[in-house]
Amino acid sequence: MTKPIIIGIAGGSASGKTSISRRLKEQFDNEGSVLIIRQDDYYKDQSDKPMEERVRTNYDHPFAFDNDLLIQHIHDLTEGKTIEKPTYDYVNHTRSDITETCHPCDVLILEGLFVLEDEQIRDLLDIKIFVDTDADVRFIRRLVRDVKERGRSVDSVVSQYMDTVRPMHEQFIEPSKRYADIIIPEGGHNMVAIDLLTTKITSIITSEKY
């Protein structure tokens, strides 16, 4: 099996990483198999900790992620192996008992806050993308998402943003932009950038097939 093209998509919280991932998947589903892996699913297991301690975890720091398992799974997929990808329970702040079976693919899209921050992950990427969206837009998107989808209160979202999300973004995520091959403003709404990416990836797939 040919090694998949690995695309890394990084950016701040609620910057539009998922929208771009989905749009790229839509573009290439007819070309070959596409797999999206979200770094968020690799938050460390905290089932051995009481809820009070889980809530206090800084989820916007690189140490919150099990990157060793993520890297191993990427290697497994590139070697043609099937993996059992973890999922995360945002309500209970720990890894879920549910896993997702992921098969080898032609295009692997890896999205997450720290995809470009970690050198070991960067070295695995064929194309490195940073989604650059204004802070106020990202905050509003995060507020709506966390309240509707993750069972959070408005006060807890605001407090977390001020205490950890914003400072961690400035310390870790924003500086990782310098490693990007492509910087996309406005996330999934930037169709020009997505079309250019589509063309580039198609040329790689075609060259590898022939």
- What distance in Å separates the CA atoms of residue 30 and residue 193, rounded to the nearest whole number? 20
pLDDT of residue 45: 94
| CA separation for the pair 124, 147 (Å, rounded) | 34
Domains in the chain: ranges and CATH? 5-209 (3.40.50.300)
Contact by Cβ (8 Å): 8, 67: no
Determine which helix (DSSP H) or strand (DSSP E) holds 38, and give its type and residue range.
strand 34-38
Rg (C-alpha) for the chain, rounded Å, is: 17
Instruction: Determine contact, residues 25/152, Cβ cutoff 8 Å.
Output: no
H helix count then E strand count, the chain: 8, 7
Tens digits of pLDDT across the chain (210 residues): 578 899 999 999 888 898 888 888 887 766 568 899 999 999 999 999 999 999 888 989 999 999 999 999 999 999 999 999 999 998 888 999 999 999 999 889 999 999 999 999 999 999 999 999 888 988 998 899 888 887 788 998 899 899 999 999 999 999 999 999 999 987 667 788 888 888 888 777 777 655
* pTM for this entry: 0.88
What one-character DSSP code corresponds to residue 65? B
Signed CA dihedral, 86, 15, 17, 14: sign only: positive
pLDDT the model gives residue 181: 93
Which residue, among 7, 30, 28, 31, has the nearest Cα to 195 in the 3D structure?
Answer: 28
Q: How far apart are CA 25 and CA 21, in angstroms?
A: 6
Find the length of the chain.
210
pLDDT at 66: 96
Residue (of 31, 32, 198, 188) closest to 103 by Cα position: 32
